[in-house]
Chain A
């Protein structure tokens, strides 16, 4: 069930992210990271630029209002309830950073630490010499709790032979020297 929820979650965020990103994106500026969902307590933002550009990067946490207070969105609830009908409040996480790329290929990277589970939005504006915005792209990501990976690693080896069978194979190999 959890997997189905995760898939739905990814799909919904992916669709929304694409809609936003399709607005007036600059083809030379791509948000590489984060992916649609991440787990952990930090958020990596990576933007690739394939032409000399100046960008301004914003990172927000999308929150909802419960009573008079803004609260983080429960990642599990995003898939179940959706967020297209909700009013979201964007709380800035960083002071917007301007990055000037002078080459034909460069990357803007920033890691934001101490992130809590929730919904986050990255906005990248392309600005010209007069600081006017010429293009913009937005990307949403769901940050899951770090321990959300419940599957044990041994599932990875399920197709592997049983210990006894492997032992016999090893024995045969050692007898015949591989």
Chain B
């Protein structure tokens, strides 16, 4: 007869658990959204994990230039030959005991050694040395601390036991001399040489100047105009509300919502400590003025913060359209009220061409003292069938790059003058030489010009001319100007 008593306590515990969960559910319905059909189990246990790109996947050289000897060059795409990963593995495998020296060399020596078969990995921003070594688990090499930041990495068959590094912040060149030759890099050069077209030349070889920037001398492509759509076309949708909720929480009770005359939606918390603005064209800007409680972050920590923030606030892909690959296009150190951080501009690749927006960026994140203080998001998407359609079209010859610059050098000079460049007293060939000397790279990509409202959104195939601080766009086939973007415009 004592047996039923055995079950009394477990039954009581079970009842308590059921009552607890019932209480939780009732609280949710009373204090949360009272509509029963809005109940989602994912609201209680969280949505499926957001996808965050890795720091390795977004940290790729802006350009990998291979000199095949005799003044012939080729440019590799990110994934070609796994070239960047091979260089990283080489750095990771450096044995400090076998490194003879880390020494500064002159720019002339660097240029001369690159006259041999060589490869240069160009970043268009600076990677802080200490953070880079730590993040990529590269052993501490005696003397490497004299290099402040890594901007370019290189290898030349002319000095196969050396690795070359350029510090853009100091405009200084270095070489890391090992006891033995890096044969794997020489093998990579041979592989590239045997399977790539040497269709790039220096601007200087084409124009008779000293300009070492390499440009394609010929491009045949089927890149065509592509219809594109803004991420948020209609701001009165649940998707937009849910996006806003990621910044201010489920309940927007304490958030002022203002609908501007031009269709802009503004969400403001407090006295403007946190403001989210979504323009009628779908462009998003979020500013957070709250004082950061975090500590200062290194570049890669700030990058992690940015990657996670974007993943949690809109994600790295659009809901619709073909998948795109994010990458860090530019980055720079910034300071606000004596607090330091980084502003990172992310670009998007449409296999393999990049997407550019006039006067805007797909994603820009400013992280100061571990807190995201500014977030710009201007995502557009392309339907995959629309993109694939162009692959069936006949290839066309793109406008010659050097003639595109020759036709537009006065326009380029006028754009750069707005950014503070002084070309006074220069005209004709002298102006052309001055302008072409500022060209850092020219590549093909897609550009979305900034149109007036109600005009159809189109991505144009274009030549992208980078002059360091400004991107200038020209139609790929007619060389007509399509606009420009000042990289660091506030």
Number of interface residues, chain A, beta carbon within 8 A: 37
Contact residues of B: prevailing secondary structure? mixed
The interface centre, meaning the residue of B105, B156, B402 with most chain A CB atoms within 10 A of its CB, is B402
Do B198 and A157 touch across chains, with their CB atoms under 8 A apart? no
The listed residue (B68, B105, B146, B407) touching A178 by CB distance below 8 A is B146
Do B103 and A166 touch across chains, with their CB atoms under 8 A apart? yes
Tell me which residues from 298 to 318 in chain B have a Cβ below 8 Å from any Cβ of chain A: none
The listed residue (B68, B103, B207, B218) touching A46 by CB distance below 8 A is B207
Do B142 and A106 touch across chains, with their CB atoms under 8 A apart? no
At the interface, yes or no: A25 with Cβ under 8 Å from chain B?
no
Shortest CB distance B219–A (Å): 12
Shortest CB distance A39–B (Å): 5
At the interface, yes or no: A11 with Cβ under 8 Å from chain B?
no
Number of interface residues, chain B, beta carbon within 8 A: 43
The listed residue (B112, B143, B156, B206) touching A167 by CB distance below 8 A is B143
Q: Which of B69-77, B247-255, B288-296, B353-361 contacts A (4 or more CB under 8 A)?
A: B69-77
Residue of B nearest to A30 (CB): B208
Shortest CB distance A173–B (Å): 6
Do B69 and A170 touch across chains, with their CB atoms under 8 A apart? no
Cα separation A105 to B409 with both chains bound (whole Å): 10
Do B429 and A153 touch across chains, with their CB atoms under 8 A apart? no
Contact residues of A: prevailing secondary structure? mixed
Q: Contacts A33-B206, A146-B69, A173-B146 given; indicate if A105 touches B428 (C-beta within 8 A).
A: yes
Shortest CB distance B139–A (Å): 16
At the interface, yes or no: A154 with Cβ under 8 Å from chain B?
yes
The listed residue (B68, B217, B407, B428) touching A109 by CB distance below 8 A is B217
Point out the residues of chain B lying under 8 angstroms from A109, CB to CB. Answer: 201, 206, 217-218, 400, 402
Q: Contacts A157-B109, A167-B101, A173-B146 given; indicate if A44 touches B407 (C-beta within 8 A).
A: no
Shortest CB distance B4–A (Å): 79
Do A107 and B402 touch across chains, with their CB atoms under 8 A apart? yes
Tell me which residues from 75 to 104 in chain A have a Cβ below 8 Å from any Cβ of chain B: 103-104
Point out the residues of chain B lying under 8 angstroms from A131, CB to CB. Answer: none
Do B142 and A107 touch across chains, with their CB atoms under 8 A apart? no
Point out the residues of chain B lying under 8 angstroms from A103, CB to CB. Answer: 406-407
Cα separation A146 to B198 with both chains bound (whole Å): 14
Cα separation A40 to B205 with both chains bound (whole Å): 15
At the interface, yes or no: B235 with Cβ under 8 Å from chain A?
no
Residue of A nearest to B103 (CB): A166
Do A170 and B143 touch across chains, with their CB atoms under 8 A apart? yes
Contact with A along B186-226 (1 / 0, CB 8 A): 00000000000011010001111000000001100000000
Shortest CB distance B74–A (Å): 12
Do B208 and A32 touch across chains, with their CB atoms under 8 A apart? yes
At the interface, yes or no: B116 with Cβ under 8 Å from chain A?
yes
At the interface, yes or no: A69 with Cβ under 8 Å from chain B?
no
Tell me which residues from 392 to 414 in chain B have a Cβ below 8 Å from any Cβ of chain A: 400, 402-403, 406-407, 409
Do B116 and A149 touch across chains, with their CB atoms under 8 A apart? yes
Residue of A nearest to B406 (CB): A105
Q: Contacts A44-B201, A105-B406, A109-B400 given; indicate if A153 touches B156 (C-beta within 8 A).
A: yes
Point out the residues of chain A lying under 8 angstroms from B112, CB to CB. Answer: 153, 156
Shortest CB distance B98–A (Å): 12
The listed residue (B102, B199, B201, B403) touching A170 by CB distance below 8 A is B102
Residue of A nearest to B70 (CB): A40
Cα separation A146 to B117 with both chains bound (whole Å): 10
Contact with A along B163-200 (1 / 0, CB 8 A): 00000000000010100000000000000000000110
Could you list 6 examples of A-B contacts with CB < 8 Å? Answer: A48-B207, A153-B112, A157-B113, A160-B109, A163-B101, A166-B102
Q: Known A-B contacts: A107-B403, A153-B157. Give 16 more (CB < 8 A).
A: A30-B208, A32-B206, A33-B206, A42-B72, A44-B201, A50-B429, A106-B406, A107-B207, A111-B201, A152-B158, A156-B112, A156-B113, A156-B158, A163-B100, A167-B101, A171-B142
